[in-house]
Amino acid sequence: MMTANEFNTEVIPLTDKLFRYTYRLLGDQEEARDAVQEVFVKLWNLREQMTSVRNIEAFAVRTARNYCLDMIKSRRTVSLDEYDFIQNRHAEYSDPQEEIQRSEAVGLLREIIRALPEPQRSVIWFRDVEGYESKEICSMLSMNDGNLRVVLSRARRRVREEFLKSYGYDHKRNQSIITEVL
């Protein structure tokens, strides 16, 4: 197990490097400072495992990267929870019937996405719901960019087709719901 003294000599000196890295990813100094602190807490909690890590700096940077990506993802995540979807758009749609229809539509979209085959399900979820960039998805799913674009296009088309088949009585309104959510 890494001692407090070893942590202070091997990890704490990475503060400036981690700050610059997190600031570049997050674009906000306060968030970057908070991220560095959170990364240090994570690293401290992982100190037992860090004794087997060859390159502590690389491990710390990877931990910071993952933490920042989680922060970024949480900022731009689209909620497919019916309640959140309705609450976030309440001012825009005051008609209760409209809200019920949108709630049902969001539930249907979730079901359609869950029923997609892999890798379509993962690609559309990561891209359109979680908000990951294509490059990040390619890395996570070990795909090249061209393949990702084809899979995403097929997934979106399939979601549209299934949605409109199930909910197709008002094509224009339903297309706007799909566009808002995805």
**pLDDT single digits (tens) 86-144:** 444 444 445 667 667 777 777 888 889 889 999 998 898 888 877 778 888 888 888 99
**What's the CATH fold of domain 4-76?**
Rna Polymerase Sigma Factor; Chain: A (1.10.1740)
pTM listed for this prediction: 0.47
- Across the chain, mean pLDDT equals 80
Per-residue confidence (pLDDT) for residue 13, from 0 to 100: 96
85 pLDDT above the threshold of 50: no
The whole-number average pLDDT for the span 153-162 is: 89
Question: Is-same-fold flag (4-76; 82-181)?
Answer: no
Domain ranges of the chain: 4-76, 82-181
Instruction: Give the ranges where the chain is alpha helix by DSSP (H).
Output: 4-10, 15-26, 29-45, 47-50, 56-76, 82-88, 96-115, 120-124, 134-141, 145-167, 171-181
Tell me which of 2-16, 144-158, 159-173 is least confident: 159-173
* Band of residue 168 on the pLDDT scale cut at 50, 70, 90: low
164 pLDDT above the threshold of 60: yes
Per-residue confidence (pLDDT) for residue 161, from 0 to 100: 86
Class of domain 82-181 (CATH, top level): mainly alpha
Under 8 Å CB-to-CB from 54, ≥6 apart: which residues? none
